Amino acid sequence: MFVRKTKWPGGANNAVMISVNVDAEYYIRVFDPNLKVDDNNFLDMGKESIEIGLPRLLDILNRYNIKATFFVPGAIAEKYSDALITVAEAGHEIGCHGYEHEHMGALTPEEQYRAIQKGMEAIRKVCGNNPVGFRAPEGEITIDTLIAAKRLGLCYSSSLHADDVPYYTDLGEDRLLEIPIHWSLYDLPYFAFNFSPPIPAGQSRIACSDKVLNNWKWEYDGFHRYGSCYVLQIDPQCIGSQGKIYMLEGILDYILEKGNAWFATGYDIFNYYEKLESEDASAYVYNQVLAPNVEKR
Amino acid sequence: MNKSIWPNGAKCAFSFGWDLDGDTIWRNKVIKIPNGENFIRSKSIGLYGIMKGAHRILDIMEKYNLKSTWFVPAENVERYPELIKDILSCGHEIANHGLDHDDFYGNTIEEQLDNIRRSQDIFRRIVGKPAVGFRPTGPLLSEVEQILFENSNTLYYSRGMAEEKISFHEVNGKRTSAVRLPCRQELDEYIQMVYGSYPQVLVGQPRIAPYEDVLSNFIREFEGAIRFGSAITSAFHPQVSGTPGKAEIIEKLCEYITTNPDIWCTTCEEIARHWKENMEGVSHVC
């Protein structure tokens, strides 16, 4: 075998991080990072996601006693501050997701720095604490995005896709822990739909919920087999809707049935990796070498 | 139905074709966007194949004792010689998948030939010999095809198209000595499951297919190949199939293949040699 299993706290078989992207009206920028969001339709959907989807989601997390990681654009934290305080008071982690869900790749390094800074300040103002986690708003990013996050005191990023266990991105003089994500484990790309502007761009049919849940289960089978770090991304306006909330219960039941998973927030994972002294925690030069847990022959 | 020409009474021949594209396809896309040369996010989807996916696939191939063919852009042969060594040491074949996965090979015959020559030089240097199999990443001029496929070092040609029949490749109606080994869209998992919202991959942002449907379509394709005695190969990608959930699809496919005596599973090179020798009336020694 080339690929070794990663070790997790307490002898757990694999890690599970439930992450919630509270994008509200900015969800359309997941599909086109340059879109404007001031359309009433999008604003109403954003409002409903906070008023209906979010409480539903919180109820279930509470029932399963799971702490999740919520990534929130600063402008949404300010606009829906009461809702965000409820999330923080329930013990969930609140992470930074830009200020207005900016398209980082289209900004200068200084503009990126200021957007992340503004997003962090909004969360601190509402929740009282600085966020420690960063998920870059969907759209492209550059290495300067991660350098800015690190310089602003963020501990980890959960934005890239190059592995299925955490790894460090080399930032030159520094490094940043990456908790990688995968599009197949995100609800919006399967379900979001809008006529004008077209979302998704080719207006493909809305997927079958049961089969999407099955994809998440197939993925879990794999993450369980390989002992990897399963990061689910959900949005209250998608998974929180009346016809889809069962999917969250379905995947959580499936994970619990398989047993021996370590449910963790992004900050839990960061703290675990900081204490690791094994080769799993070695930095690698971005895009140059193999994953740390691939054995040499 | 005609008597099978495949070894040990198998009714069809199959080779896993692993396209080790890494971040080249993503790089070639973002490079066209302002500031795109600095983008790192969509490229990281492709890098998964290099960092983790390829070795996961090697582990699965080893578990089921299967040999396969890896179509690698020469740029990646040069960038990741250690990985290439691991693939070769497991007994797999490395074949030519262009220079840098660009679909533009050049305007003139000389430019296109030079592009191919440069990729084969890298293969010679790192792999130790030029590739005998080609899966071009873009269209070639017919004069270039003529020269490439009449070259005695070229054994087979396996492009991603809809064609079904193994045959001697023809250029302008004239038969060449290269074997055309079909690689159909039905056995390309990238088309079914890759996703990136920006830049759009695939264009139009179609939904990721249900994995159960993907596996079911793969099996139907095998059933057809068995029924009609075909030779088939896949365009699978470590950056897609190497991720945990899609690797489950590959596991299940390997179980199907290794428990089905109707399928001869080997490298593209073996299939092409066997078929060619059979056509030329030379008995194949297994």
Q: Flag whether B144 is in a domain.
A: yes
pLDDT at A287: 44
pLDDT at A172: 83
Q: Tell me the pLDDT tens digit for each residue of A45-73.
A: 999 999 999 999 999 999 999 999 999 99
Q: Flag whether A269 is in a domain.
A: yes
Contact B210 A204 (CB under 8 A): no
Lowest mean pLDDT of A88-102, A187-201, B76-90, B148-162, name the range: B148-162
CATH number of the domain to which A118 belongs = 3.20.20.370
Q: Flag whether A133 is in a domain.
A: yes
Query: For residue B179, what are the β-bridge partners?
Result: B156, B168
pLDDT of B94 over the 90 cut: yes
Q: Flag whether B63 is in a domain.
A: yes
Confidence of residue B285 (pLDDT cuts 50, 70, 90): very low
Quick one: B15 exposed, middle or buried, by C-beta within 10 A (0-12, 13-18, 19+)?
buried
Computed on alpha carbons and rounded to an integer, the radius of gyration of chain A in Å comes to 18
pLDDT at B282: 60
Q: How far is A44 from chain B (nearest CA, A)?
A: 23
Q: Give the mean pLDDT of A265-283.
A: 78
Contact A3 B47 (CB under 8 A): no
pLDDT at A276: 80
C-alpha span between A146 and A152 (Å, rounded): 10
CB pairs under 8 A between A and B: 176
Contact A1 B34 (CB under 8 A): no
Is B184 within 8 Å of chain A by CB? Answer: no
pLDDT at B24: 96
Q: Flag whether B284 is in a domain.
A: no
Contact A297 B51 (CB under 8 A): no
Number of folded domains that form chain A? 1
Q: Which of residues 199-218 of B touch A (CB under 8 A)?
A: 199-200, 203-208, 210-213
- Cβ-based contacts of B197 with chain A (< 8 Å): 30-32, 138-139, 183, 189
Q: Tell me the pLDDT tens digit for each residue of B174-194.
A: 999 999 999 999 999 999 999
Instruction: Identify the H or E element spanning A266.
Output: helix A266-275
Confidence of residue A278 (pLDDT cuts 50, 70, 90): low
Query: How crowded is the C-beta side of A186, counted as CA atoms within 13 Å?
Result: 20
Is A172 within 8 Å of chain B by CB? Answer: no
Number of folded domains that form chain B? 1
C-alpha span between B263 and B259 (Å, rounded): 9
User: Residue B263: what are its φ and ψ, rounded to 5°?
Assistant: -110, 125
Q: How far is A292 from chain B (nearest CA, A)?
A: 9
Full domain range(s) for residue A219: 15-278
DSSP one-letter code for A186 = B
- Cβ-based contacts of B59 with chain A (< 8 Å): 1-3
pLDDT of B1 over the 90 cut: no
Q: Give the mean pLDDT of B239-260.
A: 98
CATH number of the domain to which B164 belongs = 3.20.20.370
Q: Flag whether A70 is in a domain.
A: yes
ipTM over 0.90: yes
pLDDT of A283 over the 50 cut: no
Q: Flag whether A215 is in a domain.
A: yes
Query: Angle at Cα B80 formed by Cα B74 and Cα B85, nearest 5°?
Result: 95
Q: At what angle do helices A81-89 and A109-127 cross, to 10 degrees?
A: 70
Q: Flag whether B40 is in a domain.
A: yes
Confidence of residue B152 (pLDDT cuts 50, 70, 90): confident
Q: How far is B44 from chain A (nearest CA, A)?
A: 5
Q: Flag whether B285 is in a domain.
A: no
- Cβ-based contacts of A201 with chain B (< 8 Å): 200, 203-205
Full domain range(s) for residue B42: 7-279
Q: Flag whether A141 is in a domain.
A: yes
**CB nearest B51 (choices: A31, A162, A219):** A162
Q: Which of residues 235-254 of B touch A (CB under 8 A)?
A: 243-249
Is A46 within 8 Å of chain B by CB? Answer: no
Four-residue CA torsion sign, B168, B172, B173, B175: negative
Chain-centre distance for alpha carbon A69: 7
Confidence of residue A297 (pLDDT cuts 50, 70, 90): low
Q: Flag whether B16 is in a domain.
A: yes
Q: At what angle do helices B211-228 and A209-226 cross, to 10 degrees?
A: 90
Q: How far is B208 from chain A (nearest CA, A)?
A: 7
Which residues have C-beta within 8 Å of that of residue B30, sequence separation ≥ 6? A140, B36, B37, B39, B42, B43, B199
CA nearest B26 in A: which residue?
A140
pLDDT at A292: 62
Q: Flag whether A4 is in a domain.
A: no
pLDDT of B219 over the 60 cut: yes
Q: Flag whether B1 is in a domain.
A: no
